[in-house]
Structure 1
């Protein structure tokens, strides 16, 4: 008959080992939780950065479909987009708001040698698209895109 040895009687972890393992695990979880707000902020900004060019293309597409105005439109016009970057007619469903204003193209004052600069004329003007999100907040983010609209 063999007597049980000290090695065979020990079957689990001691209380000290369990406490150390919990301390290491909790430190790891706390460091990840500390990074979470920063990671969510980066995610929000990256989403907007990828959606805004697509939304500005939609705005320019809509403007190109309309008849070209020979005089510059005055005032601002607003278009609204969902969180996925799709157009919506209902501002209550919108996350992004686009304020559209039309401006004359800047004209060069003088050229070297006294040559007269070309004037853009009535056939083209600049469109400014000011995206603001989230809709309905005062301290939201704003990005501005500019493009030229021409009567082909």
Structure 2
């Protein structure tokens, strides 16, 4: 049953990524979408390592599912904020490469952190710090997104 629930949460990831793209297209602030994703991941990480088993598992599911808001927001931003039409594919490629770098380097860094602090119980703190960094970057991306939006049309 736990595996089925995890597969379901993993399936929600692309659904929420698509939902984020639609919300972005309907005017939701970039900052809000990214803060929701990073916030859910930070709370999920905290719950995973500090709560009793059933709550910890629910936190893992929330982390997995709601994390889809982040790439679902970042990839449309990459297309819109690319320096020129000729660099869209390169910009999207950079977003993908940096995402992959985090997935490759993150686990050994967290293992190093756990060894330094005496166990895995503080691993959530490393994740929360990464989420806080992402939240700070969300502010900068939001400002950039606002500048890139076309001026509203005035009726007349």
Say whether the fold is shared (TM-score over 0.5): no
Choose between structure 1 and 2: higher helix proportion: 2
Higher RCO by CA contacts (8 Å cutoff, separation 6 or greater): 2
TM-score, structure 2 as length reference: 0.25
Choose between structure 1 and 2: higher strand proportion: 1
Task: Name which one, 1 or 2, has greater alpha-carbon Rg.
Answer: 1
TM-score, structure 1 as length reference: 0.25
